[in-house]
Structure 1
Amino acid sequence: ALATSKIICNHTNINVRVDSRLSEISYGQWNGTAIADLKRQYTTYFDSETNDVYPHSIEINNGESFAHARKRVWTFVTEISREYPSQTILVVTHGWVIKNIISLCLNNTDGTAFKNPRNLSVSKIQVDPVTGKQKVCYYNRPLKGIGKL
């Protein structure tokens, strides 16, 4: 995500600002292990439809809880919407974070309702900085004009 941000920013007047609240969820002892290997060994901890771990995977991988990760991500969203109330903010991050921002807007309880977005896709939300009301404008659209980056 950081490398992608730098590519985008090299061709625009946007500055990169790193915020640790947007880091991918930690899968604990599973970090860095191929998903295919994990799925074979820990079948009951993976959702075959979304190709992601279930929230209860922290029972064995000692990773970050979904609740904790979602809280830090949402803290970023609400803070940034207040800090820049009338501006469009580009956030470049990983799929788990993106789908959970969307699911939080939709009041989904744990973020497992739908698949991760494709790489280099675009999702858009609007957050009213006063009321906190959210609107999902779109999710998982292919990025157009990638050849220009």
Structure 2
Amino acid sequence: MIQLDCLRHGEVQGGTCFRGHTDDPLTPTGLQQMQAATNTGSRWDQVISSPLQRCATFATAFAQQYSLPLQFDDRLTEMHFGDWEGRTLDSLMGEDPDALTNFWNNPTDHPPPGAESLLNFQARVLSAWNDIIQQHPEQRILLITHGGVIRILLCHVQQHPINKLLEFDIKHGSLHHFYLTHDGNMTTPTLPVFWN
């Protein structure tokens, strides 16, 4: 069995926005959220992280602290939001409320202008997921990543429609447990164990 624990990064400098590939650092609160989420007595064999600094900074420190192997995987970065990168909800609602509403209701058919398609995002995340399962049998993996990535994984393992991924509320600093057989099937439900 493979234990894969997915940690969403904590609060990020710059406030709430469509951050995507924008490489903003954590706030002190964000760092504390991630420390609290991983201070559960769990032990991991490997850390795998998005290379964006809101994940990578904590991943590097955590791996060094516990002498764990660390791997960065570009496929675990957040979805690229195209023209909406770095934009706030308020600014988009004021500029083009229909586009924002359409995205919330149907992100597959109504992506932001110039954005990575949801299906391409799903394909790269699941490519990483499948490689992790194949390359780390019988291991406990801490995967440090983004809300969108965790939503893709939840849709996959729960057979939830990809177009409804925004129904999952993935809080900053939340830790989600996946227990998997070698063929990638879930053996127990996936639940967030901490968020702040």
Give the TM-score taking structure 2 as reference length: 0.62
1:100 counterpart SS class:
helix
C-alpha separation in 1, matches of 2:181 and 2:90: 40
Structure 1 counterpart of 2:150:
98
Q: 1:34 to 1:74 in 2, by over 3 A?
A: same
Q: Does 1:70 align with 2:116?
A: no
- Greater relative CO (CA pairs within 8 A, separation 6+): 2
CA distance in 1: counterparts of 2:135 and 2:65, whole angstroms: 25
- Which residue matches 1:55? 108
Partner of 1:123: 176
- Check conservation: 1:127, 1:134, Cα contact below 8 A: yes
Q: Identify the residue that residue 194 of structure 2 maps to in structure 1.
A: 142
Q: Please, which runs of 5 or more residues in structure 2 have no aligned partner?
A: 1-54
Larger mean CA deviation between 34-43 and 22-31 belongs to 34-43
What is the Cα-based RMSD across aligned positions, in Å?
A: 2.6
Give the structure 1 partner of residue 137 of structure 2. 85
Unmatched 5+ residue regions in structure 1?
145-149
| 1:133 Cα deviation after fit | 1.6
Q: Which runs of 4+ in 1 moved over 6 A?
A: none
User: Which letter maps to 1:93?
Assistant: T
Identity of aligned residues (%): 17
TM-fit CA distance, 1:141: 2.4
